[in-house]
A and B are shown apart, each in its own frame.
Chain A
Amino acid sequence: MSNIDENAQGKEMGLTTCPSCNKLNEQKQTHCTRCDSPLMVRDTTSLQKSWALLITAAILLIPANIYPITMLTDRGRIRHDTIFTGITHLVQSDMFPIAIILFTASILVPLLKIVGLTIYLTAISFRLPISKKMLMVGFHIIEWIGRWSMLDLFVISITVALVNMGQLLDAKPAPAATAFALVILLTQMAAKVLDTRLLWDRLESKDDKNRSTKSR
């Protein structure tokens, strides 16, 4: 196979992989020979879909953080907690490790995901001269850590089920919970629908240095 160029794209060779089973197919086929999924050399509309999902998620991140996410009644006193105040309470009661876990899962991860995906999509849409390899590593990290935001919702559901004793001690979810759930859902989908091969088709000229070092 010596006649294959180091940086050949499947697109130029008339080949394409099946998005669902990963089998190599020829471009002239419309459906995968193994699993019958429709084949697409590039999904150009995925960029728009991904932007739409990401922008919606970014907007929802605001109510998710400014509205309370839980409501706690403790001996008649009602306390509303936002994601942030919930974490500061943990810090005040000296539970640093738990505070750090919750801070990472509920504030850092969603924020990193939205900022990261924005950089990623901007780089494709506006052909920014950012190292493609770095973008791709970031993308894999975003895909992998995204799920961990569910942590807060699980904690809320356990708490709500356990703590319901009327005026004495009672926990209920508050409006930010839905917004937060939607942020997780939409950001995961934004990463999922995106055809990452688009990144490698564009911004060709800018970081050629990156390519040549890779080939040795």
Chain B
Amino acid sequence: MERDCIDDCVTLCRSCDLVVTKRALPSGVRALCPRCHTALYDTPYCSINGMLALCITALIFFTPANFLPILELHFLGSVRTATIAEGAIAVAHQGYWIVGISVMLTAVIAPGVLILSILSQILIIKYRLHSPFFRDVLKRLLKYQDILSQLTMLEIYLISILVSVFNLSDFADIFLGMGTFCFSMLFIVTLFLQREYNLEHMWSMLDE
């Protein structure tokens, strides 16, 4: 068989190394490995402009979500508020810096870097794809994309806020702050952004 055909009509399963013949797929359908059921490929449906809009919206929500209090506690006349970063710093301050760093990394830093990284990728693809320097930057960003999206744990943090509300309502009155609203919006926008984003498709931009 000819070598040049292989690239287009065959793929290898990354989990079990099975050789799978590629077939055209209807949109929204994902091909699974027939042997181990790992997701292989799907029809890329990324719209660059749609992602750009989502990125900008996410960036708008990012600052208030991180600097406004996510919860307010009223106890015997005194009011306490906390932002996400304050929570991480408070834990680190008690000497539990591994916990503090993981909270900071997964709830603040990774989501922020993820959004900025996707934004830069889109801008490079839209305006600077021909320049060798920016192609190299894009390559580097794409390499870290996978680990970044795994480190982004906004959905888990959102559930944690709810769990904390119920946990603490035993002791004091708890109120949701404006930060909670912005954080929920940030979560929803990032969710759509990650759904729209297709790493395979982004890599293929480099092939042209």
Contacts and interface: CB of A to CB of B under 8 A. Distances in A.
Interface stretch (A44-52, A110-118, A122-130, A192-200): A192-200
B94 A164 contact: no
B142 A17 contact: no
Contacts of A201: 17
Interface in B5-22: 5-7, 9-12, 14-19, 21
Contact of A154 (B7, B76, B107, B207): B107
B16 A98 contact: no
B15 A196 contact: yes
A91 interface: no
B139 interface: yes
A22 B19 contact: no
Q: Is the interface of B mostly helix, strand, loop or mixed?
A: helix
Contact of B166 (A3, A95, A139, A153): A95
Contacts of B87: 154, 157-158, 160-161
Interface residues of A, number: 70
Interface string B12-48: 1011111101000000000000111110000000000
Nearest to A215: B34
Contacts of B166: 95, 98
A55 interface: no
A34 B91 contact: no
A4 B19 contact: yes
A63 to B, nearest CB: 13
Contacts, number: 201
Interface in A1-18: 1, 3-4, 7-11, 13, 15-17
A101 B143 contact: no
Interface stretch (B98-106, B113-121, B189-197): B98-106
Interface stretch (B54-62, B126-134, B155-163): B155-163
B159 A21 contact: no
B36 A200 contact: yes
A1 B10 contact: yes
Contacts of A148: 156
B34 to A, nearest CB: 6
A156 interface: yes
B82 interface: yes
B157 A154 contact: yes
A9 B17 contact: yes
Q: How large is the interface on B (under 10, 10 to 19, 20 to 34, 35 or more residues)?
A: 35 or more
B82 A98 contact: no
A200 to B, nearest CB: 4
Contact of B18 (A9, A23, A169, A178): A9
A177 B163 CA distance: 17
Given A35-B142, A136-B16, A151-B159, A157 B90 contact: yes
Given A34-B207, A35-B139, A155 B19 contact: no
A162 to B, nearest CB: 5
B170 A137 contact: no
Nearest to A36: B139
Interface of A: 1, 3-4, 7-11, 13, 15-17, 19-24, 26, 34-37, 74, 90, 93, 95, 98, 101-102, 132-133, 136-137, 139-140, 147-148, 150-151, 153-165, 168-169, 172-173, 177-178, 181-182, 184-185, 196-197, 199-201, 211, 214
Given A17-B17, A19-B14, A133-B35, 4 more contacts: A17-B14, A26-B3, A74-B171, A157-B91
Q: When A and B form their complex, which 9 residue pairs have the shortest distance between CB atoms, in order from nearest?
A: A154-B160, A161-B82, A157-B87, A10-B12, A136-B36, A200-B16, A161-B87, A161-B90, A197-B17
Interface of B: 1, 3, 5-7, 9-12, 14-19, 21, 34-38, 70-71, 73, 75-76, 78, 80-83, 86-91, 94, 96, 98-100, 102-103, 106-107, 139, 142-143, 146, 150, 153, 156-157, 159-161, 163-164, 166-168, 170-172, 199-200, 203, 206-207
